[in-house]
Each structure stands twice: as C-alpha cells, then as structure tokens.
Amino acid sequence: MTERIYTLILGSSENGALLLIEELRRGGYDPDFLMVDEVGKVAKSLVVADWDIIISDSSFSKLDVSATISLLNDFDKRIPLIVVSEDFGVSEVVDLIKSGVSNYIPKGELHRLLPAIKRALNESLDVEGDRPIDFDLEERNKMMMSILEDVESLHNAAEKEREKLYLAISAMDEAILLFDVDKKVVLHNGSASRLFGGGADSEITVDVLSKYRWFPLEEIGNVLSGADRFDVDIILSKEPFSAVNLISVPIGGEGFLVTISDITKERELIRAKDDLITTVSHELRTPLTMIKLFFANATAGVMGEQNEKMRRAIDRANTSVSRLATLIDELLDYSRFERGAVQISLQGSFVGKIVNELSILFNPIADSKNRKFKVRVEVGDEEIDLDEHRIHQVLSNLIDNAIKFTGDGGHIELLVKDDDEGMNFMVIDDGEGIAPQFLETIFDRFKQVGRTYGPGIKGLGLGLAICREIVEAHNGRIWAESELGKGSKFIVRLPRSASPAGDDAQSGKDEWTLS
C-alpha cells in the first residue's frame, strides 16, 4: 500500500526533482509534488497546500534555504525541510541544522533520503499533534545538538591546525609553492613572494613565474604524470655566486608542491673544501718532486757510489714517495669527480688496443711480484664508445688491486666478453676473496674492507669509488662477485653505444647553470 505524500521540491533542475520523486516512489510513497525554482514562489506555495515535506535540491542555494526557513517560521508552519546538496562544508551543515533544517543529505548519498524522510515525518507528527514533546525527543535533540557542537569544535580545531600549518609554512626560509592539477598556484609563502619579485603578500601566478628564466615551469609538472620527484640544483649567478635547490613532489593526485631552498652557502663550502684539497695537493707536489729527484739522483750515482744498505734505504724511501704521490692523485681525482669537474669524453675505441696496453703494462709488474697475469678476449676487435684514458684508469686500478690482494704465485685474468647488455671487462683473481657483507660497500669512498692487507698497500680507499664514478659516467655498471677463499671477480659493464650520464633522464639529479 502506498502512502500519499505532499512534497514541495525547491530547485530548478527537473532531473534533480525526478530523481527525488523516484526515490520517494521506491520507498513506497505516492508523491504529489510541486516544484518551485525560486524562493519568491515559496510563500505562495505554502498557502496553496499543506505540504508534508519540503526537499531542497542542490540547485537551491544555501541563502535560499535560509530564506525558506524564515518563511516557514513566519507562516508558523512546522514542515520538515530536508536539504540535498553536494557542496556544503561541515560548518555550513551545522548552521543549517541549527537554523531548523531537519536533515542534510549529501547528493552522493541519496539512499539516506528515505530514512531521513521517515524520521522527519514521525517527528513532525509528534509536533503537529500538539502533544507535549516527549522526554526522549527532547533528550535526543540535546544529544543531537551536542554532537553538532562536537563536530563544530572538531572543525574549529582542524581550522586552527590549518592556520598553524600555514603559519609554519609562512615562517619557513624555503620558498614554498603549492600547485593544483592545472598548474595554478593555490598557495605560497612569504619567502616565495620575496623570491619572485614582490612584497611578502604579492600574488604569484604562472605568468609571474614564466618571467624567471631559471624557473623550470615545464619540468615541475612532470610529477603529475608519473615521476615521483623532480630535483635540480640551479646556479642562479656565478659572480656573486648564488644557487638554489628546487624540488617538486606530487601530493596525492591533487597537485604538487614545489620547495626552493637557498644552497649558496653549502655550495660555497663545498667549493672552499675542493679549493683547499686542490691547493694542498699542488703545494705538496713540488717538495715531492724534489724528494723524488733527489732519490733518483742518488740511485743514478749522481752523488757518487753508494753501498748496498744505502741503496736499499733509498729504494724504500722512493716507494714511500710514490705512494704519497698516488694518495694525492686519488684525493684530487675524487674531489674533481665529486664536483663534476671531470668530463668524460666518449670516442670510438677498440677493445684490442685497450687490452694490449694493459697487458704490456701489467705483465712485467705481475712477473716481478711472482703473479701470473693473462688476458682473454672472447669478442672480436670491436669498437665501443668510451673515454679511453679513464677506462684504462679503472681497469688498471682493478688489476693493480688484484695483484696486491693475490698471494705469491696467484693468478689474475682480464677477461673481455659481451652479452645483451653490453661489453664486460672482468678482472678475476684467485686470491682470498671478499666477505659477502663487504661486496656492496667496497665501492663507497674511504672504505677498505674485507681483504687482508700486507705491508705497504694501504690507500685512502678512494680507488674503487673513483672507478665507480667513471663507470657510471659512462652509463655503465661496476660490481664485484666473490667467495671467501676462492677469489674475486670485478665486472665493468659498459653499454655498446654510450651517452654520457647526465644527458638523459637516467641521472638522478641534474645541475643547471644559468648562462
């Protein structure tokens, strides 16, 4: 059995009204309805019929709903009013309920409409029948109000948190820009305003940003389409030096956050450190040169005959000087790599030539130390793109290490073979091997682990770190495989046609210089 229900619908959308009617029918009501599309017509419709319920559609504004409530009060009509809307915030809903609206249904939750109507009708019956409002109802209203007050205070607390957050953002030295998905600036702090020209309160628009040539307007938005981070150091000017670091990160599909921090001081410190290393290294070279010359003169007999004891002492001193010179080279090399001062220049080089040179260099060294060094090439004399001088340096370092860490009579092999991923240069020895826990870290700087050291073979632990820098600058990979007691294998894999790292998206972090 259906129940007739006189329904006044406030709204201008016929489709919206039809949806509501449908819902009422589905709930077993037989709705007799009138739709009014503006608040001016509400008064008239209140006179022409006794409505059971008023439902305001989302096309009816909050102001119009308030006006309707006033009208109901003026006419002394206690007709339940239910608001169906899609865009009211918590505080607005609280206002509505306080002003006398029976219920609020978010448009997406239309299934809650029928229960709300039933409840509203029951309550209005109680009132209409002029029966004294029963205790339960009064209690319920009180509870309702206290829940609403809780909601309101939670809302206020959230507002306060938001304000605190905003204050914190405002106080930050970093410039912060929040962009929406359309790349529009929706929030920025005072540092950002100062950075982009205006006073602390000036507006920042994409137009303003586009006037700053260094600002990567295109790239920052890449995080909207998959990239999880865009991070770049930008040199703004060389004299006087100033630089910033810019990071863009996505925020859960709602846009992205850009922070820009001043890294001038850090970069100046790094530069000062590099300058110090460079200066000290070069200052050390001159006295070293003299010491070396002096020993060489003594050995050559420039200063007359020397006995066996003297000769041995001079030999040892000479070795120490060479070691000192190598340490300085390592330090200088590493510092150059760290600040990107070393450029890899790729050119077609033949595998055969590289291998031959190494063979000529290391055969006598290995022989003199009673080690066997051999070269095995399992590819044709292919030409690949590499920086010959630097790759020679890498392989020399690996072979030199292998000779050092292999005992008397040990075997060292340089094996060249290719696979799908590139050309592999492997330095294999049958020495003591490296403990598994050290395999990962041996390429870190200042790390010297896992091998037993004999006298006179200490270093700064920069050799392998430099090797890694060089190989990675070729977009290649270097790693070690080893088993304790069975020897070690160092593999350098170079792509066949390399582009220097940094030319493509593979490099993690770029540096831009504004020229």
Partner 1 sequence: MKVHILIVDDEGEYIEILRERLEFEGYELDSALDGSSGLQKMKSNKPDILLLDIMMPGQSGLDVYREMLGDPDLADIPVIFLSAFGSELFGDDKVLIKDATFLQKPFDVNELITAIAALIP
Taking the complex as a whole, the smallest distance from the CB of residue 367 to partner 1 amounts, in Å, to 19
Q: Rounded to whole angstroms, how far apart are CA atoms 177 and 169?
A: 10
Q: Does 392 bind partner 1 (CB under 8 A)?
A: no
Taking the complex as a whole, the smallest distance from the CB of residue 278 to partner 1 amounts, in Å, to 9
Q: Is the dihedral of CA 164, 167, 171, 174 positive or negative?
A: positive
Strands (E), 89-210: 103-106, 175-179, 185-188
What is residue 109's DSSP assignment?
A: G
Binder among 112, 119, 155, 285 for partner 1 (CB under 8 A): 285
Cα-based distances in Å from 56 to 4, 11, 61, 95, 121: 19, 6, 9, 16, 16
Binder among 70, 91, 156, 297 for partner 1 (CB under 8 A): 297
Tell me which stretch binds partner 1 (CB under 8 A): 11-19, 114-122, 294-302, 374-382. 294-302
Tell me which stretch binds partner 1 (CB under 8 A): 71-79, 85-93, 127-135, 297-305. 297-305
Per the CB < 8 A criterion, the answer to whether 471 and 478 are in contact is yes
Structure tokens at 357: 């040179």
Q: Does 339 bind partner 1 (CB under 8 A)?
A: no
Tell me which stretch binds partner 1 (CB under 8 A): 90-98, 104-112, 301-309, 367-375. 301-309
Binder among 225, 286, 307, 437 for partner 1 (CB under 8 A): 286
- First-to-final CA distance of the chain: 83
Tell me which stretch binds partner 1 (CB under 8 A): 238-246, 298-306, 309-317, 426-434. 298-306
Nearest to 224 by CA among 189, 248, 259, 188: 248
Helix-helix angle 463-473:388-404, to 10 degrees = 150
Q: Does 302 bind partner 1 (CB under 8 A)?
A: yes
Which residue, 266 or 283, is less far from partner 1 as judged by CB? 283
Which residue, 230 or 295, is less far from partner 1 as judged by CB? 295
Q: Does 81 bind partner 1 (CB under 8 A)?
A: no
Q: Tell me which residues in 265-284 interact with partner 1 (CB under 8 A).
A: 281-282
Nearest to 187 by CA among 195, 176, 197: 176
Q: Does 292 bind partner 1 (CB under 8 A)?
A: yes
Nearest to 394 by CA among 377, 375, 408, 414: 414
Cα-based distances in Å from 74 to 43, 70, 71, 78, 308: 10, 6, 5, 10, 123
Binder among 291, 313, 327, 375 for partner 1 (CB under 8 A): 291
Binding letters toward partner 1, positions 228-267, x by CB under 8 A = ----------------------------------------
Per the CB < 8 A criterion, the answer to whether 179 and 209 are in contact is no
Binder among 34, 288, 327, 377 for partner 1 (CB under 8 A): 288
DSSP string, 179-247: E-TTS-EEEE-HHHHHHTSS-TT----HHHHHTSTTS-HHHHGGGGGT-S-EEEEEEEETTTTEEEEEE
Total residues contacting partner 1 by CB under 8 A comes to 21
Which residue, 1 or 300, is less far from partner 1 as judged by CB? 300
Q: Does 107 bind partner 1 (CB under 8 A)?
A: no
Residues at the contact surface with partner 1, assessed by CB under 8 A:
281-282, 285-286, 288-294, 296-297, 300-303, 321, 325, 332, 342
